[in-house]
Amino acid sequence: MQLLEGKKAAIFGVANERSIAWAIAEAFHSEGAELAFTYAGEVLEKRVRPLAESVGSKIILPCDVTKDEEVEKVFADLRETWGGLDILIHAIAFANKEDLANPYVQTSRAGFHLAMDVSAYSLIALAQRAAPLMEGRGGAMVTLTYMGSERVVPNYNVMGVAKAALEASVRYLAHDLGPKGIRVNAISAGPIRTLAAAGISDFKAMLHHVAERAPLKRNIDAEEVGKTALYLCSDWGSAVTGEVLHVDAGYNIMGM
């Protein structure tokens, strides 16, 4: 029997075939899960729809997570089509380019609000709607974070602060939803070449630095994150909740 046979999973945040969210989707599909996808805007729809269709997805919906009415519609459609939900993947983050390029002290009020809304509050917004669909099913939610939440990473700036809020939200959501049998975890992935990473200055230097200093002496790939998400969302991770699990070749343990 496949690990996710009969399970329904909603994937938020696929941007293209190199996305971590897509690697997670492929891992879930290979283990029998039925998948639903969302996209934000026409440009992303052109990338997401063919990928979703390639794994047999019948649910491909628009969703701007800053708009409650669009979030509501997604979960109304999931309820109508599936009747319930087993897995939620939150792989959504955004900050203005200038708020990543400039020193953190120069972050604008509007830029701070935007980064927090899209990158942190959106998990809460999705969890509010997903939880009622998961009750009685042993649901699992997983979000993606990065070590810039714990330590200063040059050029990560306001996104690091947003990820710190996201990780705190994981713990509070795990506490709130645990009595309902719903688990909430985060994966702190090492740097990977993705569309989101393209917005970070000197990203190549970051890759080189991690590969040189991590205990495994290499970078990671998206498939490894996908396998970790599979563990967290399957029965293999049934007693794990409120965790931030590092998948970074061990880089996070290093001091000097």
Residue numbers annotated as active site: 146, 156
Question: Residue 190 gets which letter from DSSP?
Answer: P
CA proximity to 196, closest of 155, 141, 228, 151: 155
Stated as kind and residue range, the H or E segment containing 141 is strand 140-145
Cα angle for residues 236, 239, 244 (degrees, 5° grid): 90
CA proximity to 201, closest of 166, 235, 154: 154
Q: 143 and 90 in contact (C-beta within 8 Å)?
A: yes
Q: What is residue 12's three-state secondary structure?
A: strand
β partners of residue 11: 37, 89
